[in-house]
Amino acid sequence: MASPSPSKNGGPSASAGGTPTELGVIVPYPEEAIARRSFEPVAAPVHPLVRIARSMAASALPTVVMIAGLLAFWQLLCGSPSAAFPSPLAVWEQSHDVIMHPFKGVDIGLTHFSIQDGGDVGIAGHVLTSLSRVLIGYSIAAVIGVALGILIGQSVFAFRALDPLFQVLRTVPPLAWLPISLAIFQQAQPSAIFLIFITAIWPVILNTAAGVQTIPAAYRNVAKVLALNPVEYFVRIMLPATVPHMFTGLRIGVGMSWLAIVAAEMVQGGTGVGFFIWDSYNSSLLTDTIVALIWIGMVGFALDRIVAFAGRIIGRAG
Amino acid sequence: MKQRSYLALEGITVEFPTKAGRFCALDGIDLEVEKGQFVALIGHSGCGKSTLLNAVAGLVKPTRGAIFLDGEVVDAPGPDRAVVFQDHSLLPWLTVEENVRLAVDKTAGGKNKAERKDWVMHNLELVQMAHAAAKRPGELSGGMKQRVGIARAISMNPRVLLMDEPFGALDALTRAALQDVVMDLQARLNNTVLMITHDVDEAVLLADRVVMMTNGPAARIGEDRAVTLARPRNRLEAIDAPEYAEARSAVIHFLHERYRNPATLAA
């Protein structure tokens, strides 16, 4: 290997079958090898709708398979008549009315809905009652939370004054507020709304404040060079720069609200999906509780997605 | 009373409080810039170039000394001293047009809506970015973003245009294209410009004067060299001119012989 040999290194050589010329060796085109190559047949063009449907099916398939497997496993585990926990088929049979008639006692029009007072109300009616409480309490928490967040994000003094208070209060579990809430408001409805408010507000405040505090110095310098006044700075720079953080807080807040409302209604009774669970437990209708759990999970998921979607839309609109 | 230049920095000293005591970034900088002059500030990292530029912009308050622009003291930021930031600092939630429009709205008093829109588009055309008016900064390359940053600054009709290492984050070819844009703008608008750069060729090619700063802390102006290349300039003609080579050599000797980079000395 010590002495270099050009022919071994694959250098140009007339013996390779080529034709030597002034510039080098012309190797003949390997027609035979080209003829041997085969190409994949080009797939027939697919209609775009078909393609979309296929890709949706491909992404949903694992979920469907998983759910089917889980249900089968559950059925196997709890299928015997002596099982303490109802099987999926038992849920379907025993809670058929709850599953199939969720809107019993609910009157929904285009612009309004009303829920029958007391008596026999379907699960959707209870969910709507809970949702309306969440909507009120959460809206107040969102408005006040964003305002307080901007205040403590903007002012170092306000931050030092209020942040320790917020840090302590946010660790108080929602249900611990219930006695105080009941003592203040005396009634179920406003105290449930207060509970939602006091649960949802902390993540909104703290995330908004973090958003304001982390506005890049570059944007602040732009505002200074352009000599934006405080109102312009607020509208053109601070709000758009803070929206992503704000919506992180709002998303955490809506999830916590939904957790808190169910717990509060279980304790308070009367109406709402939490009450429905407690009522079905007291009536030994465990299958109804299972249906309610599925509803709660789906609604909580939908709430989270709605807030996330709103955040994306607003963030884009700027 | 002595006649001051258009832009006059008199005894600018900037000190920052640190844990170890006061840190003196700039020590008594005197600099006079005539109207329409293009001045490049060059020096090693940490020599306080940015601090000096920020002082002129009003973003940093000098500990001592004063800055005069057209006879008036400047001590706060304002749109008469537009800044092209190194990181372009476009607002990502606004389109290209809206980013420039924000600056125009703050400076174009008396113009109506249509005139403002025309002015925005005119400035985008000057940097060849009118085609991207509806795009957001996230959709643009680094060079295009900086073009928009330049359009935003010149659209404000500033009395002084401040550029803080405007092309520092760009690759060499994009940088050359942007330098051509700046040369073209300078030929048309004849702005008074203060530009920070690390790039010797950029300084010589673009500037009428190259101001070389000594190493910090307590940086001062070490040398102030005029570049007498004729304007309007052209890259290819300039690099072949003897004056270009002389100026370039002078700056390189200053930076690598008299005031070597403190980082390389340590290494």
**What value of ipTM does the predicted structure carry?**
0.87
Residues of B in contact with A225 (CB under 8 A): 57, 59, 77-79, 81-83
pLDDT of residue B257: 81
Interface check for A237 against chain B (CB to CB < 8 A): the answer is: yes
Q: Would the CB atoms of A225 and B57 count as touching at under 8 Å?
A: yes
Q: Which two tokens stand for residue A108?
A: 């929904």
How far apart CA A119 and CA A123 sit, in angstroms, is: 12
Q: Would the CB atoms of B83 and A225 count as touching at under 8 Å?
A: yes
Q: Would the CB atoms of A225 and B91 count as touching at under 8 Å?
A: no
Q: How many contacts (CB atoms, under 8 Å) link A and B? A: 44
Contacts of A287 (CB under 8 A, 6+ apart): A86, A90, A91, A94, A95, A98
DSSP run (H or E) holding A29: none
Residues of A in contact with B137 (CB under 8 A): none
Q: Would the CB atoms of A227 and B77 count as touching at under 8 Å?
A: yes
**Within chain B, what is the greatest distance between any pair of CA atoms?**
59
A188 min Cα distance to partner chain B (Å)? 44
Residues of A in contact with B149 (CB under 8 A): none
My answer on whether omega of the bond before A174 falls inside 30° of 0, hence cis, is no
Q: Would the CB atoms of A222 and B91 count as touching at under 8 Å?
A: yes
Q: Would the CB atoms of A240 and B93 count as touching at under 8 Å?
A: yes
Search chain B and give the residue with CA nearest A241: B93
pLDDT of residue A215: 94
Q: Would the CB atoms of B77 and A222 count as touching at under 8 Å?
A: no
pLDDT of residue A91: 85
A218 min Cα distance to partner chain B (Å)? 6
How far apart CA B92 and CA A317 sit, in angstroms, is: 11
Interface check for A228 against chain B (CB to CB < 8 A): the answer is: yes
DSSP run (H or E) holding A107: strand A106-108
Specify whether the CB–CB gap between B23 and B16 falls below 8 A.
yes
Instruction: List the domains of chain B with CATH numbers.
Output: 35-60+73-80+159-267 (3.40.50.300), 90-157 (no CATH)
DSSP run (H or E) holding A8: none
Specify whether the CB–CB gap between A226 and B102 falls below 8 A.
yes
User: What is the residue extent of each domain of chain A?
Assistant: 125-317
CATH H-level superfamily of A125-317: MetI-like (1.10.3720.10)
Of the candidates B159, B104, B151, the one whose C-alpha atom is nearest the C-alpha of residue B131 is B151
| Helix, strand or coil, per DSSP, at residue A108 | strand
Q: Would the CB atoms of B89 and A227 count as touching at under 8 Å?
A: no
How far apart CA A45 and CA A59 sit, in angstroms, is: 21
The more confidently predicted of residues A306 and B265 is A306
CB count in 10 Å sphere of residue A153? 24
Mean pLDDT of the region B78-92: 91
How would DSSP label each residue in chain B? -PPPPSEEEEEEEEEEEETTEEEEEEEEEEEEE-TT-EEEEE--TTSSHHHHHHHHHTSS--SEEEEEETTEE--S--TTEEEE-TT----TTS-HHHHHHHHHHHH-TT--HHHHHHHHHHHHHHTT-GGGTTS-GGGS-HHHHHHHHHHHHHHT--SEEEEESTTTTS-HHHHHHHHHHHHHHHHHH---EEEEES-HHHHHHH-SEEEEE--SSSB-EEEEEE----SS--HHHHHHSHHHHHHHHHHHHIIIIIS--HHHHH-
| Helix, strand or coil, per DSSP, at residue A113 | strand
Residues of A in contact with B108 (CB under 8 A): none
- DSSP label of A45: P
How far apart CA B31 and CA B39 sit, in angstroms, is: 10
Q: Would the CB atoms of B106 and A226 count as touching at under 8 Å?
A: yes
pLDDT of residue A109: 65
Q: Which two tokens stand for residue A21?
A: 């010329």
- DSSP label of A112: -
My answer on whether omega of the bond before B217 falls inside 30° of 0, hence cis, is yes
Contacts of A120 (CB under 8 A, 6+ apart): A104, A105
How far apart CA A51 and CA A39 sit, in angstroms, is: 23
Residue B44 has pLDDT above 60, yes or no: yes
How far apart CA A203 and CA A257 sit, in angstroms, is: 11
Interface of B with A in 70-109 (CB under 8 A): 77-79, 81-83, 85, 87, 89, 91, 93-94, 102-103, 106
pLDDT of residue B267: 52
pLDDT of residue A46: 77
Search chain A and give the residue with CA nearest B57: A225
Q: Which two tokens stand for residue A269?
A: 């009774």
| Helix, strand or coil, per DSSP, at residue A171 | coil
Residues of B in contact with A241 (CB under 8 A): 93
| Helix, strand or coil, per DSSP, at residue A114 | strand
Interface check for A318 against chain B (CB to CB < 8 A): the answer is: yes
pLDDT of residue A72: 92
Tell me which residue has tokens 């606004």. Answer: B94
Sign, Cα dihedral of B147, B153, B155, B160: negative
pLDDT of residue B48: 84
Tell me which residue has tokens 């080579």. Answer: B245
Interface check for A218 against chain B (CB to CB < 8 A): the answer is: yes
The type of residue at A189 is Q
Least CB–CB distance from B77: residue in A218, A225, A318: A225
Could you list the pLDDT tens digit for every one of the 318 residues in chain A?
A: 444 444 444 444 444 567 777 778 888 777 887 777 777 777 777 788 888 888 888 888 999 999 999 999 999 888 888 878 888 888 888 887 778 777 776 777 666 666 666 667 788 888 988 999 999 999 999 999 999 999 999 999 999 999 999 999 999 988 899 888 889 988 888 888 999 999 999 999 999 999 999 999 999 999 999 999 999 999 999 999 999 999 999 999 999 999 998 888 888 777 888 888 998 888 888 888 899 999 999 999 999 999 999 988 887 765
Q: Would the CB atoms of B81 and A228 count as touching at under 8 Å?
A: no
**Prediction pTM value:** 0.76
Q: Which two tokens stand for residue B54?
A: 């920020």
Q: Would the CB atoms of B91 and A240 count as touching at under 8 Å?
A: yes
pLDDT of residue B129: 92
Specify whether the CB–CB gap between B77 and B160 falls below 8 A.
no
pLDDT of residue A318: 52
Search chain A and give the residue with CA nearest B79: A226
